[in-house]
Structure 1
Amino acid sequence: MEDVSQSISRTNPNSQLLVVRGDPTTLIPTLCKKWGITHLCFEQDLSGYARRRDSSIRQLVKEQCKGVEIVEEQGHYLYSIQDILEKNGKKPTMSMSALQKVVSKLPDPPRPRDAPKTLPDPILPNHGNVKDRISALKALAETLSDIEHYSVDKTSKPDLNAASAGGDRLPDAEKGRVSCYDTVYGPDGLDSKSKTEERMVQLFGVPTLASLGMNPSAAGALPEAVIKGGETEALRRLDALLKRKEYMATFSKPKTSPAQPADDPATTVMSPYLKFGDISIRRLWYDVQDVIKGYKGKDKTSIPENYEGQLLFREMYAVGELALGDEYQQIRNNKISRYMDWYLPNVYDSDGKRVEPRPRGDEASERRLELFVQGQTGFPWIDALVRQLRSTGWIHHLGRHSLAAFLTRGQCWISWERGSELFETWLLDWDPCANPGNLWLSCSAYFSQYFRVYGTASFPAKYDKSGSLVRRYCPELKDFPDKYIYAPHTAPIAVQKQAKCIIGKDYPHPMLDEKEEKAKCLARCKAAYGAGYYGTSKEVLEGKAEAILRKAHGQPDPEMPDTGKAVSKVSKIPDWAKPAVDIKDGGAKLKSAPPKSQKTTSAKTEDHDEDEDDQHPDTADHDDEHVGEKEDGKGRGKRAVGDEGEEDEEEDHTRRSKRQRTSAGRSAAVSKKK
């Protein structure tokens, strides 16, 4: 926002971005009348909260502000999400091929326009054209004098965060913390009566954490952002990417490494800039397409794993959110989300209303969740990802896969609703549609191959045998040999002492047995798929589904984690902790077969891949986009249960789709745009 304001002022020194604070449903109609506004212009936002907010404001402005023209433009997505939903029979697009089929019938997205070279002087009511920005701000401030939160001097109000009031703020506010927020209207003590230039700039300026009484350092924020915001930075990054023609033309998201940090990423890291509107989706789409068209080399990639495919996933999840509304964010009443007997799910009262704050669930799962949030699970790959995410606001999409799968169907069996909340809290590029859309990693929707599990050692070892990300974000483990970096609890005590890190003391012992919990989760998934419950099922709404499923699979409740237990003498890495690759000096070599114990597990939990006829009537799982299993003689997909160590879901789609493109409808339908 600050970057936008500065850009406006550079174009016209008499103008800037005016930031006002308050309830939009009351403030916007008020300002329309006070400032003589003739046009209310805004970008369409289709998320649930925004739809309700904008609907209220539209109605209020029509009723209270006669003559004000409302201009609403679609710019956050390439296509009109409403049009996609209508052409798909008002149902979510459950696969990339379904989305492509629909958008192939829509007009091409319009190309972006260049930013204006000039801007007119602002016109103030009763003042005419503005010739001096500060004078204009003072005149605008006078119009706010009867708006309570602008007219009251907040220094006279009690400080709810003061130590004397039982709060956490120390006498020196810079060293204190703010834990009680009674307002986000503006800087402490700032009111419209103060007419100094500094006050005027603050009054209408972009709020800072300090102006809201928050101390970034006390909250654990880094001194300097790893991913800097703003349009200027977004355009700089885009320009650098467009110069890498081969990289963009051969871009394959599943083949990029999740083991690289945010300041040296294997991907483009443009998602935060799209989320905040720092760059136009149309600019990104067409600039990338133009570069790809000009590339004459080999190995061009295609949808969905190429860059265009990544952008289209945003559209797919937005259609799901618009189709389902608020239920898209939860399991209950969500007709595309399978019901599984997760621990720590949302809780509802007898009237079906969500209980907030969520009552505590079983203590073992609550403790697992706490350790996960702290980055203290005892699994270095998981802990490094959590710590990176908390400190930078970003991790690679395959890192997100690892965390989401581990927390849900992989090992912890905790509801994807809790994972969605955590990502909402931490992610810079959090999106109200794409974030819950990642429920597919729990195999609740969009994806059903629950037998594919990300290994906590095998998966990262595929990309980085030395564990550089772990060494950076779990520095207590930095001196462990490569052999043990992803499973340090298997290191002999002599190795631990040499690394100056005793497992169970300096770094936690694993909070659960990965192999054992994986087997339990597979049994739970199999039972859930066999029952076929969804968020709208009668048994779910009546609260009976959990007991039915737990009786069906017979798995015990989780045990309380003990991350401080002493490590027994170990002479070799146990089978369950061994990577799916043999780590040697020359690189990673795929093993020819899984361990015997793994084969045994496979025999007991043979994959339960859905038949088309068994699917929920209102959905069409996009497993055809993510198929990677071997075909048996009867045409039914089968694959042994094992760690995710060979390929990713988008890579699967590419390999499969090459065999399946037998009609124009299933070909890359957006190719006409290239």
Structure 2
Amino acid sequence: MIKALHKMAAAVPSVIHWFRLDLRIHDNLALRNAINEAENRKYLLRPIYVLDPDIKNKVGVNRLRFLIQSLQDLDINLRKLNTRLYVIRGKADEKIPELFDEWQVKYLTQQLDIDPEYVEKDCVIEKVAEKKDIFIVKRVQHTVYDCNSVLKKNNGSVPLTYQKFLSLASELPVKECIEIKKQIPDSSNPSDFESHDYDVPSLSDLGIDDSTLVACKYAGGETEGLKRLDMYMARKDWVCKFEKPNSFPNSLEPSTTVLSPYISHGCVSSKLFYHKLKEVENGRKHTEPPVSLMGQLMWREFYYTAGTGTENFDKMKGNSVCTQIPWGKNDEHLKAWAEGRTGYPFVDAIMRQLKQEGWIHHLARHMVACFLTRGDLWISWEQGAKVFEDYLLDYDWSLNAGNWMWLSASAFFYKYFRVYSPVAFGKKTDKEGLYIKKYVPELNKYPVAFIYEPWKAPKEVQQRAGCVIGVGYPKRIVDHDKIHKENMQKMAAAYKANKEKKAQRPLKRKRSD
């Protein structure tokens, strides 16, 4: 009987909406297109998410937990509309072509994404869809602006400065957000609607013991994301007075919104955030980009535009906007940095917070990125970007690459002589080192005078504190005061070499018409 029902279901054509970085119901035009198409043509509706079986080896446990929570919440919200989420286990470019036949798919909707991982899979799937006469609809809904429209306004070129981007974007309209409220008719639900084969897996299903994880500080999902958005938008004075430089990288609780994980996963629409900010700012005196909250959202748009228009944006070689710098290679230093064992307590506290909680303040990201690259360790920004891809809840392909190029002075920012001090920078906002004592607890009995520079503490002070440097806490892997000056000279030489190389290139002749 069950097999007969499955055969009947297969005989009715289906519409798939493929959720990727749009894990929400609100402002999801591609999902609404799928719903309308299913209802109008009397097709079956199947909202899917494809879960790579190797995912736990590709992302850190904090981000995986956030993703699973987001999928669980998405399934709950879809069921309120009388549909559900079908989680498909496998490789997308293998499984979706199989589903085309199994479910008699006629129509596929999805969000337009620029992450190379999605682009590569899309190419495979689109070739199969074309052969099978399956119609694919892609919608721009992960950014406020259509990045290709911004590029078109700039004659196809990538705007290389934030201000240039703002001037281009200001001429483009921002569409209103859509809402999906109407119930899906029962006739659109397949016979396997209640099948547990497509349920969202738990972490234990994926072989992860969640009891070993630290308490979840930022729960994933659209419901939680919208709640967080509303909470901050209700603080109108705080929003209007927000200035990025005046927030603290080492506050024990976040001094910013922490909406970024929800926006990067698509649990909250960036366009909704834009309109909510506009509502709050309307008629009130407020700060302006780049330091305002709107300015922070526009940084995301800037990097997305750059990533859209630049081949190999996440690499140094073959990247037209990236300065070619002869970075060194030191696996021991890279590992010490990633694990928070550099011997610099402020740097180590940041990296440990990142590993434990999946989120750190943007200025803290500046500190550790500069330290890894041009500041101290002279290791390629590509290596740091890979570590952030693993640890960050709010990992975002274009932002991760763009910010790492900026902080390594490889693109967008070129004042390489401005180096963050791993000692002085943290002291500005946390003189007592409370942040260090929280995340580097082996130093919590150190006197304030030595909390940022424990190697300067006399041996008897180290012994009284119960942590001798080189035994209970590592020695410094480099001497910042000395090495950052040497690295400045290397940066100057790299800039000079790149300039000379460009000067030697033959000028392209303009064709006379």
Query: Structure 2-normalised TM-score?
Result: 0.81
1:318 corresponding residue in structure 2: 304
* Alignment check: 8 A CA contact 1:423 1:435 kept: yes
* Alignment check: 8 A CA contact 1:5 1:17 kept: yes
Q: Gaps (5+ residues) in structure 1?
A: 125-129, 139-199, 345-364, 539-612, 619-674
| 2:275 paired with 1:283 | no
Partners of 2:77 and 2:328 lie apart in 1 by 49
TM alignment of 1:251-330, pairs within 5 A: 251-261=242-252, 264-295=253-284, 300-325=286-311, 327-330=312-315
* Alignment check: 8 A CA contact 2:84 2:193 kept: no
Matching residue's letter, 1:305:
V
| 3-state SS in 1 of match to 2:136 | strand
Change (3 A) 1:210 1:122: farther
| 3-state SS in 2 of match to 1:433 | helix
* Alignment check: 8 A CA contact 1:258 1:398 kept: yes
C-alpha deviation, 1:294, in angstroms: 4.6
2:188 corresponding residue in structure 1: 123
Deviations 1:477-534 (A, max 9, x none): 1111222111111122232223222112111121111101111111111111222269
TM alignment of 1:79-90, pairs within 5 A: 79-90=145-156
Q: 2:213 aligns with which of 201, 211, 221?
A: 221
1:42 corresponding residue in structure 2: 110
TM alignment of 1:454-465, pairs within 5 A: 454-465=420-431
Partners of 2:188 and 2:277 lie apart in 1 by 39
Partners of 1:404 and 1:458 lie apart in 2 by 16
Partners of 2:461 and 2:438 lie apart in 1 by 20
Change (3 A) 1:79 1:617: farther
C-alpha deviation, 1:122, in angstroms: 4.9
| 3-state SS in 2 of match to 1:20 | strand
1:662 corresponding residue in structure 2: none
Partners of 1:213 and 1:258 lie apart in 2 by 34
| 3-state SS in 1 of match to 2:282 | helix
| 2:8 paired with 1:19 | no
Deviations 1:375-407 (A, max 9, x none): 111100000011000011110000000010000
* Alignment check: 8 A CA contact 1:339 1:533 kept: no
Change (3 A) 1:617 1:385: farther
Matching residue's letter, 2:74:
V
Q: 2:232 aligns with which of 195, 220, 241?
A: 241
Partners of 1:55 and 1:84 lie apart in 2 by 24
Partners of 1:521 and 1:267 lie apart in 2 by 32
| 3-state SS in 2 of match to 1:16 | coil
Matching residue's letter, 1:381:
F
Query: Structure 1-normalised TM-score?
Result: 0.62
Deviations 1:613-645 (A, max 9, x none): 99x999xxxxxxxxxxxxxxxxxxxxxxxxxxx
C-alpha deviation, 1:33, in angstroms: 3.3
C-alpha deviation, 1:31, in angstroms: 2.0
| 3-state SS in 1 of match to 2:88 | coil
Partners of 2:410 and 2:334 lie apart in 1 by 20
TM alignment of 1:149-548, pairs within 5 A: 200-201=195-196, 203-216=197-210, 221-222=213-214, 224-261=215-252, 264-295=253-284, 300-325=286-311, 327-344=312-329, 365-438=330-403, 439-532=405-498
| 3-state SS in 2 of match to 1:267 | coil
* Alignment check: 8 A CA contact 1:25 1:60 kept: no
Partners of 1:123 and 1:475 lie apart in 2 by 56
Partners of 1:533 and 1:395 lie apart in 2 by 35
C-alpha deviation, 1:111, in angstroms: 1.4
Change (3 A) 1:617 1:245: farther
- The structure richer in helix per residue is 2
Matching residue's letter, 1:123:
S
Change (3 A) 1:70 1:63: same
Could you say which structure has the larger radius of gyration?
1
* Alignment check: 8 A CA contact 1:43 1:74 kept: yes
Deviations 1:207-252 (A, max 9, x none): 33322233445xx632x31111011110111111011101111111
* Alignment check: 8 A CA contact 1:338 1:533 kept: no
Matching residue's letter, 2:192:
A
Matching residue's letter, 2:362:
H
Matching residue's letter, 1:251:
F
2:59 corresponding residue in structure 1: none
2:44 corresponding residue in structure 1: none
* Alignment check: 8 A CA contact 2:129 2:135 kept: no
| 2:64 paired with 1:99 | no
Q: 1:69 aligns with which of 107, 120, 135?
A: 135
Partners of 1:319 and 1:51 lie apart in 2 by 16
Partners of 1:94 and 1:318 lie apart in 2 by 12
Matching residue's letter, 1:74:
V
Partners of 1:617 and 1:342 lie apart in 2 by 29
